[in-house]
A and B are shown apart, each in its own frame.
Chain A
Amino acid sequence: MLLGAVTLLLACQLAGEILTRLLDLPVPGPVLGMVFLFLILCVRGRVPEPVERVTGTLLDHLSLLFVPAGVGVVRYAQRIEQEWLAITVSLIGGTVVALAVTAWVAQRLMPPHRGKDAG
């Protein structure tokens, strides 16, 4: 039942939205919804086929879903013009630092790997 799977996703999101408002949490409602769905899957012990299909479809086209909000950047053209240097250096520098530090820490701590494509 695809309709059931769609309803399950929306119900998880709605529960998340309600909880984050009731408890005044700083976490976005859909992120709590993700936790709820994760817990449901852990209890079920598998991903039901309709849930698989609906989530697969959504995630296959995930990047399309950012476009409408991203277009809203036209309203901030002036700010980007003023702060382009800070933004550009932060995006490049911040990403390089995050990649280097995370990979270095993970490589240090990870137990030895015997997988076929380690190396």
Chain B
Amino acid sequence: MAMNEPVLSRLVAGLAAGLIRIVDLTQTLSPDFPQIVLPPEMGQAWPFRIEEASRYDARGPGWYWNNFSCSEHTGTHFDAPIHWISGRHLPDNSTDTIPVRKFVAPACVIDCSRDAAADADFLLTVGHVKTWERRHGRVPPGSWVLMRTDWSKRTDPVAYQNIDETGQHTPGPDSEAVRFLVEERQVLGFGSEAIGTDAGQGFHLKPPYPCHYYMHGSGRFGLQCLTNLDLLPPVGAIIIAAPLKIKEGSGSPLRVLALVAEPATKAGARAASKPKSRKRRAPRTKRR
């Protein structure tokens, strides 16, 4: 592909040639997928539920369709800044007002799968982020930081929720790591394979639920219940994550896709290197 070809033509050609792979980071919306657990006296998030309207039968002879219901925070979903009290007064803080250019962004994937396997309460620290940066470069501003834990491989909902008498035990970032990513790296948001961006025991951190508190308090986003993060490279993937345009929505279930350049073959070597340079440049030119 010639460098002077229009950029979208090169994208389409790359997709057609298989030089760019599309990875689905979305869990299937199913009534069996668990929803977040809150104390029972509080308002609850609806799980995904689906009711048949008709199925080629007396209720509609020629067609099949369903009505479904769920929370804004059911299944693989997006958290907008207005979701948290710390982000409630920010401009453009809900799903209908966030500028759409923020819905396409590069991703840094930090592999914590070994740590999470050893300790369900594993907390990602600034040290872990800096260790990752020594190998893969500085986290670029405007990018998603996705915490790979392989938690999505826990297909049994009981193991996925991992709840005991002291609450939920799932991995997440600690307070300092979140502040570092927000203040020092200007990330777009934080993504997790577990049911929340915060650790299962995040209520006991300072402040409670730091990832929600700091990310949304500074206008950043969250993605949770992601899957297939193990199919992404540490850097170079582009995430397409556009929530439903819900008026004053605090979040939304969504389809999260990643564009990944295939590892270098001879023909694809340049294509594979392109996203890297584009990734570095794109946030600066796109965002400001």
Chain B binds chain A: no
